[in-house]
Structure 1
Amino acid sequence: MEYKVIEENGKVMVEGIKDFEPSHIFECGQCFRWNREEDGSFTGVAKGRVINVLKDENNIIFHNTNKEEFLNIWVDYFDLKRDYGKIKESLAKKDSVMKEATHYGTGIRILNQDEWEILLSFIISSNRSIPLIKKSIESLCKRYGCFLGKYKGKKYYDFPKLEALQNKSVEEIKESYTGYRAKYIVDTVELIRQKKVEIYNLKNLSTEKSKKELLRCSGVGPKVADCILLFSMGKFDVFPIDVWVRRIMEYFYFSEGTTLKKIQIFAKEHFEDMAGFAQQYLFYYARELGIGK
């Protein structure tokens, strides 16, 4: 990927990034710690840092960072070395639905997020709306995460480390609006603490083996496991299916009442090793058009 990186006054301006639209990236269901500002930019917490991202015509401006940090951290986080133009071109050839979906969500990129954070975040996400998920996560961060400082007058906290959540009771975790998921969090914290699941080693395993390990975690079912694999472990052959994605697939490809297994088989065979990318384009496309609700 060719782009020009210019640093000035606490910000980095990048010219020539293709296939990068902040709203597509941050509003396609893959992350919960990014929020839209009044000026249309997005402020988020990742990698122990607070960063603001703004698209200005053909340039992307990263505020509250520097060139060295951008090259060493954010290039990987935003998956800037991957050619999404080729991915969209390949998927568009699959069928007319994907041709429309890739055009509609043209600026989507799959973020390379922290495995531990994504594990707990998607346990919290089960059967909830995004505003409630964000509320729970921010509460946990404020209670147990390290203070990172202020940005534009607002205080920001890092995602809690494993150590900070050890020996916390279900009732304590419930104070962060997690509901019945509090027990899942407490049990999963203990499982990871005992190294019964090596969360940071799973990406080195096959998709099948890493998924099997994730399913040992309390509160992790097939859909949540697939989300963790896709959004933090680079397993792009998975196709997360929740109620909404199932409706989307029934709307575009099947009749109502199709089994999850049939949809999974179809996605694996039809989209192959690009299934995860296809899911994100379909999810964003259908949500924006109000399909599947």
Structure 2
Amino acid sequence: MDEPSENISGGDAGGGVPADFESSDPGTRAEAFVDRLGDSYWRKAYGGQPAFECLVRTVLSQNTSDKASQPAHDALMARYGGDDLAESLAAADVDALAETISGAGLYNVKSKRLVALADRVREAYGGAAGFDDFVRESDPQVVRDALLDMDGVGPKTADCVLLFAGGRGGVFPVDTHVHRIARRVGLAPADADHEAVREALEREVPADKCGFGHTATIQFGREYCTARSPACLDDPDACPMGDLCEQVGVYPETGEVVDPSDAPEAH
């Protein structure tokens, strides 16, 4: 299987390296779900991305599509990339940076945020190289707490840095696709917020399968289990995960689709 042409939380620009993925006798429904995804989607090894660039990429992706954020990332790297991205961005003119990343949503907010993050990384870790060492070598919870203490860094952003830069096992970042699908399938409570979904998945999926589970669920969400038109709506056999799914909030008999938290069976 080839690496996705679209950026999947790091994607083809992230230097993905193919990795073996072994299905096994699953101990939980969540593990069975991830194992089934392993039959359909490309498997990669995680870790190795420069930590600060990974942080920048993930901030750029907030509230926008990969199609919009990837060109913004590429333009930023062309203008500010070099020996130390943190040093370059810390010294950047906010308006010039905003113009550079204008393809990404909320670019005025993000430009200010990126300059502030760069300044903090420079002061706290001595620059991008020191931040790399911190993300890869410190206790994962310490790293996560430090990231969450940064302005504009939420749980998904922190977890993507831990996974794609730190290569940490047992990290299952939750974006909108993962949040929707885990609750729709019944792997997490229908009314669970992003953090509750993360806790459920990291508890039920083996540590070495969490990273793949994240990227593959995103691909599955784009291809089959979309927010408004999941494949099972018209054809129960169209979805490869049908026998593992509780279809919370999906009603093929009426064609209705609601957020799992609004499904009658969730109350």
Query: Structure 2 length normalisation: TM-score?
Result: 0.70
Share of identical aligned residues, percent? 20
Q: Deviations over 1:113-151 (max 9, x none)?
A: 1112101111111111112101211221232235xxxxx
Instruction: Give the drift of 1:225.
Output: 0.3
Match of 2:99 in 1: 175
Return the structure number with greater strand share: 1
Corresponding residue of 2:248: none
Displacement after TM superposition at 1:270 (Å):
0.4
Which residue is 1:211 aligned to?
144
**Structure-2 residue corresponding to 1:165:** 89
How far 1:91 moved relative to its partner? 7.9
Match of 1:187 in 2: 116
- CA distance in 1 between counterparts of 2:212 and 2:25 reads 9
Contact 1:112 1:232 in 2 (8 A): yes
Higher mean C-alpha displacement, 210-219 vs 159-168: 159-168
Gaps of at least 5 residues in structure 2 are: 229-267
Task: Give the distance between the partners of 1:289 and 1:90, measured in 2 at CA.
Answer: 24
Deviation, structure 1 residue 265: 2.3
Does residue 141 (structure 1) correspond to residue 65 (structure 2)? The answer is no
Task: Quickly say closer, same or farther: Cα 1:252–1:28, change in 2 above 3 A.
Answer: farther
User: What number of residue pairs does the alignment pair up?
Assistant: 215
Instruction: Tell me which of 44, 53, 69 is aligned to 1:117.
Output: 53
Match of 1:29 in 2: 8
What is the RMSD of the two structures over their aligned residues, measured on CA atoms? Answer: 2.6
Aligned to 1:281: 216
* 2:47 and 2:167 in contact (8 A); partners too: no
SS in 2 for 1:195: helix
Distance in 1 (CA, whole Å) between partners of 2:40 and 2:189 is 24
Residues 1:271 and 1:141: Cα distance change in structure 2 (over 3 Å): same
User: How far did residue 281 of structure 1 move?
Assistant: 2.2
Q: CA deviation at 1:207?
A: 1.5
Change in Cα spacing, 1:282 to 1:93, as seen in structure 2 (3 Å) is farther
Aligned residues of 2:60 and 2:110 also touching (Cα < 8 A): yes
User: Aligned-pair distance for 1:92?
Assistant: 5.6
Q: Distance in 2 between matches of 1:259 and 1:195?
A: 31
C-alpha contact 2:37 2:216 (8 A) present in aligned 1: yes
Match of 1:98 in 2: 34
For residues 90 and 189 of structure 2, the distance between their equivalents in structure 1, rounded to whole angstroms, comes to 46
Kept in 2: contact 1:92–1:102 (CA 8 A): no
Offset, 1:256? 3.7
Deviation of the 1:161 alpha carbon: 2.2
Evaluate the alpha carbon distance shift between residue 78 and residue 138 of structure 1 in structure 2; reply closer, same or farther with a 3 A threshold: closer
Quick check: 2:21–2:43 contact (8 Å CA) kept in 1? no
CA distance in 1, matches of 2:9, 2:25: 20
Deviation at 1:278, TM superposition (A): 1.8
Alpha-carbon separation, structure 2, partners of 1:291 and 1:258: 19
Residue equivalent to 1:69 = none
Structure 2 counterparts to residues 1-293 of structure 1, below 5 A: 21-23=2-4, 26-27=5-6, 29-31=8-10, 34=12, 44=13, 78-79=16-17, 84-86=20-22, 89-90=23-24, 94-95=28-29, 96-110=32-46, 112-145=48-81, 161-176=85-100, 177=102, 178-195=107-124, 198-200=130-132, 201-253=134-186, 254=188, 256-273=190-207, 274-292=209-227
Structure 1 unaligned spans of 5+? 1-19, 35-43, 47-76, 147-158
Aligned residue type for 1:166: A
